[in-house]
Amino acid sequence: MKDVDKDNLIPGVPRHAGKGVRFAPALALTVLLACVVFSCMLSFQAGNGESGEAQSLREKLNDAGLPAIYIYTRGGKSPTFVETDPPEGARGRTIKDNAYINGYCEITNLGSGRAFTSRMKVKARGNTTARAAGLEGKMPYKLVLKDAADLFENGHVESRYALLATQGQDLRTHLSFLIGQQCGMKWTPDCRFVNVVLNDDYRGVYLLVSAVDGASLSEHVGPQGFMIECDAYWWNESVYFEAVAIGPKKYYTVKYPDGERLTDARLQQIKEYMDALGNDIKKDGASDRIDMETFIAWLMTRDITGEIDAAGANIYYYMEKFDAGDPERFKLHMGPLWDFDNTFRRDGVCDGKWSPQRENRGLYFRYLLKNEAFIAGYGDCWNRVSPSLIDVARSGLQALIEAEGRSINASRRLDAERWGSSMVTIEDEAEEKIDWLKDRMAWIDSQLAGEDANGETA
């Protein structure tokens, strides 16, 4: 039998795995037995030993057509967490004790037609969404594959993913990423709809998103760079420092580098850099140290999508390279965009209002919007983006509908049955989002026609 045939029988095992037999028979036999056991486990869960109910579910998801992620944890355990209150003086109730659970997964209905299998680990994620769902609800997850995979089928392999729980519909993330790209964001995660099954329990339609700490990180942040988050939940993280130059009780958590690569000396250098940057911006309303394009793109995307959440968290900054000896050599970028739970709202809370991030005391915009160069750059970006944005958004949604509309609708029906909720077709949701976007764009146009980009009368 050829090596390639062996690969097909035992997923995830490198082609050279059996070549060590002549040198270490005992080790080779152990590896072979482990692979056989793993392969048998996969075969059992894939259908040979499944219950009739599990087989019926698999058939329904195959017919629906979306990629389906079957997660099997050791001992059939489900991800858990406990809620925790912030320390005195801090804000934000969140979760803790959400440890990873080991297991393996099978992913079907990929374009290749062949199921992908890998060992993996999974845990509950989300500061507020996990608490809102509860342990028995539609919980969001963090999924880490042992074997990296191209789950977006765009030529990029990754191992770290977020599974965001949709509530019957969720084009907010798709549209926000698309708008961010149009506005000039240099780093936008990939996303797609999938079905998720946890230990034979159908959990519904999720949005699979490339994790911020995944493969994209190495593409945008080099070994000498860093990435930090303006984080309202800093007290629940292991590494953080106070953003004293911006405001009291505002903290950054360090996302990269991590572990042994983040020395005390490096952490101090990053802190000193951010303090100096904040002082520059507070003094002059601008700084040569920032990448103006990504700061403008980040704010404009929040303005367009009507984001109302200004409490902090999921606000990222990164430097491709960082030279403490020459801190102005490389610029600080803003991004990637993340967290769109409070965008495209129809309850009137964002009507006639700019994004509250403009006044957030933990961000820089309240100072940047007093700078003529920043205001002019915002206006130039709007003039470039606004004439075609509706058409671009409509075209992007139509492409998604043509490619996966039938599969998404079929899966939304299954999701609605699972959770006892109403079902909205992707066509109806897309139309509603475009109508909302038209109203929002018209309002911004009216404001910029008679006001500066900072909202003051010209």
Residue 125 in 3-state DSSP? coil
Residue 402 identity: E
Task: Give me the residue label for tokens 């999921």.
Answer: 314
pTM confidence score: 0.87
Residue 163 in 3-state DSSP? strand
Burial 373-384 (b: 16+ CB within 10 A, else e): ebbebbeebbee
CA dihedral 177, 180, 181, 185 (to 10 degrees): -120
Specify whether the backbone of 104 is left (phi greater than 0), alpha (psi in -120 to 50) or beta.
beta
How far is 73 from 120, CA to CA, in rounded Å?
Answer: 9
Please give the chain's pLDDT, 458 residues, in tens. 333 332 332 233 332 233 333 334 555 555 454 554 455 454 444 444 578 899 999 999 999 999 999 999 999 999 999 999 998 878 888 999 999 999 999 999 998 888 999 999 999 998 888 898 899 999 999 999 999 999 999 998 999 999 999 986 789 999 999 999 999 999 999 999 999 999 999 999 999 999 998 888 888 898 899 999 999 899 999 899 988 777 667 899 999 998 788 999 999 999 999 999 988 888 877 778 899 999 999 999 999 999 988 766 789 999 999 988 888 889 999 999 998 988 999 898 899 999 999 988 888 999 999 999 999 999 999 999 999 999 999 999 999 999 999 999 999 999 999 999 999 999 999 999 999 999 999 999 999 987 655 666 44
Residue 440 in contact with residue 304, Cβ under 8 Å? yes
Residue 449 identity: A
Residue 166 in 3-state DSSP? coil
CA angle 54, 55, 58 (to 5 degrees): 90
Domain boundaries, the chain: 1-44, 45-210, 215-450
| DSSP assignment of 335-377 | ------TTSS-SSSSSTT---GGGT-TTSSHHHHTT-HHHHHH
Cβ neighbours around 438 below 10 Å, total = 14
